[in-house]
């Protein structure tokens, strides 16, 4: 079975976060972008993947269209690991993370979807697990004001969530969120690398009273693993990181340094499903828990569900908390009473609704091959 055609579909979905958007990761969020990739084979089996694409859509798309995609046309897919290893080597001079690796991640996920369809098994089963229900955590955007974050927490609780993650950086907003949800609700904090090591230590200590399930990425830059290890040693709150780690070898450095309690590879940035599976094995060897990073809603979301079903079925699963106006996977990316079902069909388990993709697309699809 050979790859005959690769299609790139960029989509943009507006959402409502229940308040005016605040600057977060360099932009005001009123919509989320997603980069869907369809890989078609010469025997008619096709698979879907996703590459990191929030604001990176144009760069990941360009890497796929100009460099990575054409290299896969005509490739035999039966030995996925060998093919991906060959491509990783071929493209390593472009860097070991960034758009080229995100593009490789997208194709790798699509090849797992194809493998699952050929075997008539969901990816969770190919990984040695099984589809099941997962508990979701509501991953809130940044509200920045204590009253706004408290109201967002109340909305999440009203929707049935008992697990909440904040993306705040001011301590008073975290305290307001804890006051709004009470002591019994599971609450984590993701700061997205805002602080120096000493600021992180001060803030981690100050936040101990907020009883966080974890403190995620407090330190800038994200690859300062020694600095992160100092934060971990200085406060009792568990430390989480990993979504910005470049591949398995940098992940090993992070784990060896003793920087984290929880590692969070992002399947659409890290090289795909097999790369994440390797990271899970490595993390376990270091006594570190795996929790998927999953701030997206496309094929990468489904891939993360399958990974979680296989490797992290008991930990809360990240779910973007914003009212999406549309989704190519409809209710499969929405929680019910704080629970998510892993799709049971072959491969990723469910096919995207092409009409929704067409309605939300940014520009014409890019087609590589024939």
* Contacting residues toward Mg ion, per CB under 5 A: 190
Give the span between the Cα atoms of 253 and 326, in whole angstroms: 40
Q: Please say which residue, 122 or 271, places its beta carbon nearer to Mg ion.
A: 271
Residue 140: CB minimum distance to Mg ion, A = 12
Residue 177: CB minimum distance to Mg ion, A = 16
3-state secondary structure of 51: strand
With tokens 């992002």, the residue in question is 266
Residue 142: CB minimum distance to Mg ion, A = 12
Q: Please say which residue, 189 or 235, places its beta carbon nearer to Mg ion.
A: 189
3-state secondary structure of 335: coil
Residue 366: CB minimum distance to Mg ion, A = 29
Give the span between the Cα atoms of 288 and 196, in whole angstroms: 24
Q: Please say which residue, 74 or 194, places its beta carbon nearer to Mg ion.
A: 194
- In the chain, % helix, strand, coil (3-state, to 5) comes to 40, 25, 35
Q: Please say which residue, 190 or 289, places its beta carbon nearer to Mg ion.
A: 190
Residue among 363, 327, 300, 365 nearest 8 (CA): 365
| Intra-chain end-to-end CA distance of the chain, in Å | 15
Phi/psi class of residue 52: alpha, beta or left (left: φ > 0; alpha: ψ in -120 to 50)? Answer: beta
Q: Please say which residue, 127 or 241, places its beta carbon nearer to Mg ion.
A: 241
Residue nearest to Mg ion (CB): 190
Q: Please say which residue, 21 or 222, places its beta carbon nearer to Mg ion.
A: 222
Residue among 25, 21, 51 nearest 220 (CA): 25
Give the span between the Cα atoms of 340 and 32, in whole angstroms: 20
Residue 297: CB minimum distance to Mg ion, A = 16
Residue 141: CB minimum distance to Mg ion, A = 12
């Amino acid at each position: 079975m050979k790859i005959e055609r690769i299609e790139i579909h960029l989509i943009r979905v507006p959402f409502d976060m229940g308040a005016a958007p605040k600057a977060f990761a360099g932009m005001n969020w009123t919509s989320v972008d997603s980069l869907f990739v369809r890989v078609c084979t010469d025997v008619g089996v096709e698979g879907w993947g996703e590459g990191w694409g929030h604001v990176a859509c144009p760069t990941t798309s360009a890497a796929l269209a100009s460099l990575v995609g054409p290299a896969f046309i005509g490739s035999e897919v039966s030995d996925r690991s060998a093919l991906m290893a060959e491509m990783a080597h071929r493209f390593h001079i472009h860097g070991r993370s960034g758009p080229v690796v995100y593009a490789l991640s997208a194709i790798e996920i699509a090849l797992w979807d194809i493998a699952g369809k050929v075997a008539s098994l969901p990816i969770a089963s190919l990984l040695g697990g099984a589809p099941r229900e997962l508990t979701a955590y509501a991953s809130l955007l940044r509200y920045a004001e204590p009253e706004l974050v408290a109201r967002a927490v109340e909305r999440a609780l009203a929707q049935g969530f008992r697990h909440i993650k904040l993306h705040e950086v001011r301590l008073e907003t975290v305290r307001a969120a804890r006051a709004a949800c009470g002591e019994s609700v599971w609450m984590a904090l993701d700061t997205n690398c805002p602080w120096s090591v000493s600021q992180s230590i001060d803030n981690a200590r100050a936040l101990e009273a907020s009883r966080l399930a974890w403190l995620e990425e407090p330190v800038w830059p994200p690859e300062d693993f020694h600095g992160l290890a100092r934060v971990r040693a200085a406060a009792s709150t568990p430390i989480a990181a990993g979504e910005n780690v470049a591949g398995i070898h940098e992940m090993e450095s992070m784990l060896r340094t003793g920087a984290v309690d929880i590692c969070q590879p992002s399947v659409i940035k890290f090289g795909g499903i097999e790369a994440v599976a390797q990271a899970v094995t490595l993390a376990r060897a270091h006594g570190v828990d795996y929790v998927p990073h999953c701030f997206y809603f496309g094929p990468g979301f489904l891939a993360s569900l399958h990974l979680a079903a296989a490797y992290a079925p008991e930990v809360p699963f990240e779910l973007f908390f914003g009212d999406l106006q549309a989704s190519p996977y409809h209710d499969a990316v929405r929680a019910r009473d704080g629970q998510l079902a892993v799709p049971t069909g072959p491969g990723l388990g469910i096919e995207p609704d092409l009409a929704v993709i067409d309605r939300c697309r940014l520009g014409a699809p890019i087609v590589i091959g024939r």
